[in-house]
Amino acid sequence: MKQLAALMAATALCAVAATAASAEKWDMPMAYPATNFHSENATAFAQCVNEGTGGNLEIVIHAGGSLFGGNDIKRAVQTGQAPIGERLLSAHANENPLFGVDSIPFLATSFDASEKLWTAAKDELTKVLDEQNLVYLYAVAWPAQGLYMKKDVNSVADLQGVKFRAYNTATARIAELAGMAPVQIEAAELSQALATGVVESFISSGATGVDSKVWEQLTHFYNVQAWLPRNVVFANKDAWEALDEATRAAVTDCADKAAASGLATAQDLSGTYLKTLEENGMKVAPPGETLAKELEGFGETMTNEWIESAGDAGKKIIEAYRQ
Ligand code: PCA
């Protein structure tokens, strides 16, 4: 009897040891605040993984750039400093123009169009990320991008000389075409940049306007609906390959669910964000005819520039999208 008890205790100890040895903890750096819908969606993703793997893989979210700043997340995951992370992929279009496929002005301006464009681009992007030691898990679009200002804007001439916050090469290029002065700034630093007058305008979604309480400095949101950029969640390839097959399958399943729920939430909340801007005193309006036309002209220029820089792979994506 005594022996049996000892054996049982030993077995239990082994089981605990085995769980402890195989239970993996993944820290997940994210750039946007914990209350942002992408972050909340990732929190649900982490919970799904925790449950789906029976606790074998625990993903711990670090929102708001607390572990790595937005601009450092991709490199951190590539090099294995972090096993998983989320990043606005188009911010890395300077590494590969394909990363900017979701930020070509007026190419895909609705959620449906954005999904279609992403479907056309996903395989190629997965390949490029793989070459960078990254495993694509899921991506979620931001609501459509509009123009934040602190005065009426009737035409591009009104943008001349305005200090403008850029977040990728496309936003910097628009600034250049419009005669604005672009400064690259992460969303986490946007409020401060506005408060100190480093910038006085930017292009983004209602979500980021609300996150940053931009009504404290700015007055206008022109609902230009220029494009829907994406946050992409990827894993370090070595960390990924070290997982057993069942764990990987569970993560993939949760990633698919996160892509779907993220899209649904973004669609749901797009209007709410704009209402919040309005409730806080901002003028929310569509762009006037002149401004809209001029911006669409930039869109044409930039579509051609992108196709040229992205080569055959880029051309194929656009063709598949336009079919
Ligand atoms: N918000 C992010 C990217 C696009 C968006 O809507 C930002 O402004 O950083």
- Domains recognised in the chain with CATH numbers: 2-96+113-141+230-270 (3.40.190.170), 146-226+275-322 (3.40.190.170)
For ligand 1, pick from 204, 213, 221, 232 the residue to mutate: most ligand atoms within 8 Å of CB: 204
Region 270-284: mean pLDDT is: 98
- Which residue's alpha carbon is nearest to atom 6 within ligand 1? 205
Q: What are the structure tokens assigned to 238, written together? A: 């070595």
CA distance 5 to 236: 44
> pTM of this prediction?
0.93
CA distance 211 to 44: 19
For residue 307, what pLDDT band results from cuts at 50, 70 and 90? very high
- Which residue's alpha carbon is nearest to atom 9 within ligand 1? 187
Task: Please identify, by atom number, the ligand 1 atom nearest to the C-alpha of residue 31.
Answer: 9
Q: What is the pLDDT of residue 14?
A: 45
Share of the chain above pLDDT 90, in %: 93
Q: Please, which residues bridge with residue 27 across strands?
A: 60
DSSP letter assigned to residue 94: T
Q: Please, which residues bridge with residue 201 across strands?
A: 164
Handedness of CA 311, 314, 318, 321 (dihedral sign): positive
Q: What is the pLDDT of residue 310?
A: 97
Q: What are the structure tokens assigned to 255, written together? A: 């990633």
CA distance 168 to 89: 9
For residue 19, what pLDDT band results from cuts at 50, 70 and 90? very low
**Helix ranges restricted to H, the chain:** 2-22, 37-52, 70-78, 111-131, 169-178, 190-195, 206-211, 237-241, 245-279, 289-322
Tell me how crowded residue 148 is: count the other CB atoms within 10 A of its CB: 29
Q: What are the structure tokens assigned to 241, written together? A: 């390959």
Q: How far does the centroid of ligand 1 lie from the alpha carbon of residue 15, in Å?
A: 46
Q: How far does the centroid of ligand 1 lie from the alpha carbon of residue 51, in Å?
A: 30
CA distance 98 to 107: 14
Decide whether any atom of ligand 1 lies within 6 Å of the 167 Cβ.
yes
User: Residue 300: pLDDT above 70?
Assistant: yes
- Rounded mean pLDDT of the chain? 94
Work out the widest C-alpha separation in the chain, in whole angstroms.
Answer: 90
| Model pLDDT for residues 34-64, shown as the tens digit of each residue | 999 999 999 999 999 999 999 999 999 999 9
DSSP string across 258-293: HHHHHHHHHHHHHHHHHHHHHHTT-EEEPPPHHHHH
User: Residue 20: pLDDT above 80?
Assistant: no
**Residue (of 61, 45, 28) closest to 140 by Cα position:** 45
Q: What is the pLDDT of residue 3?
A: 52
DSSP letter assigned to residue 226: -
CA distance 93 to 89: 7
Q: What is the pLDDT of residue 156?
A: 98
Task: Show Cβ contacts of residue 221 under 8 Å, excluding neighbours closer than 6 positions.
Answer: 146, 147, 148, 206, 209, 274, 277, 282, 283, 284, 285
Region 198-223: mean pLDDT is: 98
| Model pLDDT for residues 156-199, shown as the tens digit of each residue | 999 999 999 999 999 999 999 999 999 999 999 999 999 999 99
- Which residue's alpha carbon is nearest to atom 3 within ligand 1? 204
DSSP letter assigned to residue 36: S
Decide whether any atom of ligand 1 lies within 6 Å of the 208 Cβ.
yes
Decide whether any atom of ligand 1 lies within 6 Å of the 36 Cβ.
no
Decide whether any atom of ligand 1 lies within 6 Å of the 172 Cβ.
no
Q: How far does the centroid of ligand 1 lie from the alpha carbon of residue 12, in Å?
A: 50
Q: How far does the centroid of ligand 1 lie from the alpha carbon of residue 313, in Å?
A: 26
- Which residue's alpha carbon is nearest to atom 7 within ligand 1? 187
C-beta of residue 231 within 8 angstroms of C-beta of residue 87: yes
| Model pLDDT for residues 68-110, shown as the tens digit of each residue | 999 999 999 999 999 999 999 999 999 999 999 999 999 999 9
